[in-house]
Amino acid sequence: MNLTFIGIGHMGFPMVDRLLDAGTSVTIYNRTKEKALPLLNKGAHWVASPKEGASRCDILATMVSNDQALEQLLTEDGILDALPQGAIHLSFSTLSVNLAKSLLSRHTARGHGFVSSPVFGRPDAVSEGRLRLLCAGENAVVERVMPILKALGPEIFHVGEEPFVANLIKISGNFLIASTLEMLGEAFALVRKAGVDPSLFLDIVNSSIFHSPLVENYGKIMAGRHFEKAGFTMDLGLKDICLALEAAAELRAPLPFGGIVKDSLLSGLSHGREALDWSGIVLSHYERAGLDGEHG
């Protein structure tokens, strides 16, 4: 199996690292080669361009930030036409439903397989073997990429043969996470305005009402204002909320809370917080309540 992996960012780097630990031979490309040097020193192979990487693989894995970045790889960088007939595009990115549908059509026309496999988990979840993966695509094609998926995480949810379904589920899951951050942010602002330490409030609600790892982990980041080491940035959070609203509009499924979350994220971005963890949404609520909204 010849695997090429394109996109060595916050998530792509630990994913390739884990694949190498599992004994998988991986060829990589990233726009900044220096960021990939630790992986090259560990045994990964390098190609000079995405097109070269696509032309010599059986499976092409991509992990990029948004639709636009993937479209550039497909068209301007030429991977769509360079991918050999019979090869598989394995997309780990959180994409729009429309792009996932378009990818299936374009790959099918060229004799390629296409599997969409967006993931749930931050970079530390990859390194610690806690990543959860969705996957959707033709059963025979999914079977071919399954060894890669199993090397990346302990639980894989095969959600059908239509790749876009995996993306819709991922977008909907991220909407739930963002909604939880919004609720925590509003509640933290409320209790803090009355002089209550958000950390104390978090301990109480997490032990008596929610008892959720999501509430506990993100709540601690928010209460301690540890937003600088972002597992998932605020600008990416806005992107995913917009994808959820777009999908909801096409399906004619009202998503009223999505608009509220979008506005809170936009408020944070208007203060230049795009590189902060998306749990930094709480700072917008502090500011609205007349509290100190500085981070760190």
Q: Which residues are catalytic?
A: 170
Q: If you write DSSP's letter for every residue of 11-37 in order, what string do you get? A: THHHHHHHHHHTT--EEEE-SSHHHHH
DSSP, residue by residue, 251-268: HT---HHHHHHHHHHHHH
59-62 β-sheet, strand order:
45-46, 26-29, 3-6, 59-62, 88-91, 113-116
Provide the 3-class DSSP secondary structure of residue 134: strand
Q: Which of 258, 260, 272, 265 is nearest to 237 (CA)?
A: 265
| CA–CA dist 232, 241 (Å, integer) | 13
